[in-house]
Every structure is written in structure tokens, then in C-alpha cells.
Amino acid sequence: MLKAGGIDAVVNNAGLNRDGLLFKKSGGVIVSTSSLSRQGNVGQTNYSAAKAGVVAMTRTRAMELSRYDIRAVVVSPGLTATEMALSMPDEARARLTASIPVRRMGKPAEVGHAVRFVLENDFINGRTVDIDGGPRL
């Protein structure tokens, strides 16, 4: 069983034909994470599709929930020095890093700063904030 400090699990699932608004309450922001891979990446059909879906879901949330003063925004990191990226084979990681104009992986704290920027700026809504050092896959 997954334990995460009070929330045991959250499952986002699609496939029902019961349209309706997500929920009705006032104020707040929903920040989701996607990935630069949402634009498509060789060998990552499933991952790219899932990350593109997060963007579409967030855009829809923004349209539905803005009337309740609820914003929805995506923060979309590129290659970031996380456990997942650091577990990649060295050669693959070096090749990807070389494609980043700033010639390094992002730092988790930099992604955190982007999230904080989104939280502090009430005029960002329904958008994707890329934090990726400038490459295009």
C-alpha cells in the first residue's frame, strides 16, 4: 500500500462518458507536472502521450474552473537531475545533456522555483511553463 503523509493514493483515470464539471468551490490553483517529452520523443510513445494528456486536462480544468477563481497550470520540466534521470545510462544522459543549450540538466530546486512562481502569480492560468534549458526534442 502506498503511503504519502495522509493521502494514500490519487488516481487520474479517463474513459467514462459522464461529462460534468470537476468540482465547484472557490479559490485556489491546481499545478500539474508534465514533461518536455509531451511534444513527442522516439521510444516514449506512452510517456509522451501521458504527458500531453496532462496538458490537455489542465487546459480543460482552467476553462471549467476559472469562474470559481481556481487556476490550473502545468509546469513542464526537461531533463532534470532527479533519481529517474540519474538512473539513465551515462551515455544516454550525456547525449541528452549535450542537446540542452545551457549544457546541463536542470536542478530540482529550479523546477520548485517555477512552481512557486506559478503559485505566486494569479494571472497565469491554463498555460504550460517550460523549465528545460531551451532544447527541442
Catalytic residue, chosen from 21, 47, 108, 119, is: 47
Whether 47 is a known active-site residue: answer yes
26 with 69: CB under 8 angstroms?
A: yes
Contacts of 11 (CB under 8 A, 6+ apart): none
Q: Going along the chain, which residue ranges are E strands?
A: 28-33, 70-77, 128-131
User: Which are the catalytic amino acids?
Assistant: 47
